[in-house]
């Protein structure tokens, strides 16, 4: 399947939006609230002056509706509709990490209808990383559906990962082939896999419209923090990270 379309909105739009309200210079200055998957966490971080992007995980509930929760949990007290309604009154941006393909279509429809002013990052693990589980998503289908239903969204296609197995050259080749006709994209990368994968990961930044969004499932320690400072470019990198206590 050959996709011939370009996304014209990327992380530059996120930065320009946030610079209207926050004193930041680069993507690396952006602060995140990770896994805002409950009413309590949403209440805590919504309108928080120290939080610029709210990240939430979206999946299908046993009732068949979209809820904000992370596997293995299948339900929550925060619905997708409630999240959109809440963020509409905020200056913050939103990142949506879709976990189930069944819910993508109705959620993109609701996103379009919501007419949010702030940029929205649309993420899913659409490719299988080395050692990762098989993705639930059809990768070209994910891109095509986003283009059709919510073209103003900022694409963030990623890989399933194993916490101890690095990205490979084949992983990067597959992603670059998938996104070859997309002008603006941010690639989500697992932080602890970066040092062993950097030779390959750095190829993702060969185009001006590409950026990295580095995330972690485990707190970042001091050694990894220093590595990120030395090797990554804050003008092309977002840091959606949780640190160990005592680390900046």
**pLDDT tier for residue 207 given thresholds of 50, 70 and 90:** confident
Residue with the bigger pLDDT between 214 and 2: it is 214
| Residue 245 structure tokens | 């206590």
Cα-Cα-Cα-Cα dihedral sign, residues 156, 162, 167, 169: negative
Peptide bond into 72 cis (omega under 30): yes
Residue 20 has pLDDT above 60, yes or no: yes
Q: Which of 212, 172, 209, 169 is nearest to 189 (CA)?
A: 212
Residues near 52 by beta carbon (within 8 Å), at least 6 away in sequence: 18, 22, 24, 30, 31, 32, 92, 93
Residue with the bigger pLDDT between 7 and 19: it is 19
What is the tens place of the pLDDT at every residue in 32-63? 999 999 999 999 999 999 999 999 999 999 99
Residue 3 lies in a domain: no
The residue assigned the tokens 């509709």 is 81
**pLDDT tier for residue 243 given thresholds of 50, 70 and 90:** confident
- What range defines the domain where residue 125 resides? 11-240
pLDDT at 245: 64
- Which residues share a beta bridge with 165? 162
CA–CA dist 78, 81 (Å, integer): 8
Residue 173 lies in a domain: yes
Mean pLDDT of 175-179: 97
**pLDDT tier for residue 227 given thresholds of 50, 70 and 90:** very high
Residue 247 lies in a domain: no
Q: Look at the chain and report how many structural domains it folds into.
A: 1
Mean pLDDT of 69-98: 97
Cα-Cα-Cα-Cα dihedral sign, residues 235, 239, 244, 248: positive
Residue 3 has pLDDT above 70, yes or no: no
**pLDDT tier for residue 6 given thresholds of 50, 70 and 90:** very low
Q: Global pTM?
A: 0.94
CA–CA dist 79, 39 (Å, integer): 9
Residue 15 lies in a domain: yes
Residue 148 lies in a domain: yes
Mean pLDDT of 150-170: 97
Residue 5 lies in a domain: no
Mean pLDDT of 213-227: 93
pLDDT at 7: 52
pLDDT at 90: 97
pLDDT at 246: 53
Residue 190 lies in a domain: yes
pLDDT at 230: 97
Residue 22 lies in a domain: yes
Cα-Cα-Cα-Cα dihedral sign, residues 103, 57, 137, 150: positive
CA–CA dist 101, 134 (Å, integer): 13
Q: Over pLDDT 70: what percentage of the chain? A: 95
pLDDT at 1: 35
Residue 72 has pLDDT above 80, yes or no: yes
Q: Which of 57, 36, 61, 58 is nearest to 47 (CA)?
A: 36
Question: Three-state DSSP class for 91?
Answer: coil
Q: Which of 141, 166, 142 is nearest to 156 (CA)?
A: 142
pLDDT at 9: 77
What is the tens place of the pLDDT at every residue in 87-144? 999 999 999 999 999 999 999 999 999 999 999 999 999 999 999 999 999 999 999 9
CATH number, domain at 96? 3.20.20.190
Instruction: Please give the backbone phi and psi of residue 46, each rounded to the nearest 5 degrees, phi first.
Output: -65, 130
**Helix orientation angle between 169-178 and 194-201, rounded to the nearest 10 degrees:** 50
């Amino acid at each position: 399947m050959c996709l011939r379309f370009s996304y014209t909105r990327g992380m530059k739009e996120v930065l320009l939006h946030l610079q209207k309200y926050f004193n930041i210079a680069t993507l690396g200055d952006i602060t995140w609230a990770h896994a805002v998957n409950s009413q309590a966490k949403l209440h805590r971080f919504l309108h928080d002056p120290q939080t610029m992007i709210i990240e939430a995980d979206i999946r299908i509930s046993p009732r068949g509706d979209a809820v904000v929760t992370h596997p293995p949990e299948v339900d929550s007290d925060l619905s997708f509709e409630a999240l959109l309604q809440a963020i509409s009154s905020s200056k913050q941006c939103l990142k949506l990490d879709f976990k189930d393909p069944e819910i993508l279509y109705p959620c993109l429809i609701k996103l379009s209808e919501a007419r949010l002013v702030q940029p929205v990052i649309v993420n899913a693990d659409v490719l299988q990383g080395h050692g990762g589980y098989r993705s639930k998503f059809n990768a070209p289908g994910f891109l095509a559906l986003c283009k059709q239903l919510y073209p103003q969204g900022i694409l963030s296609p990623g890989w399933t990962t194993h916490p101890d197995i690095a990205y490979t050259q084949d992983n990067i080749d597959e992603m670059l082939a998938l996104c070859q006709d997309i002008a603006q994209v941010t690639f989500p990368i697992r932080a602890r896999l970066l040092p062993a994968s950097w030779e390959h990961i750095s190829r993702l930044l060969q185009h001006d419209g590409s950026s990295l969004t580095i995330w972690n499932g485990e707190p970042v320690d001091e050694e990894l923090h220093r590595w990120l400072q030395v090797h990554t470019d804050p003008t092309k990198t977002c840091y959606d990270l949780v640190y160990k206590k005592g680390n900046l």
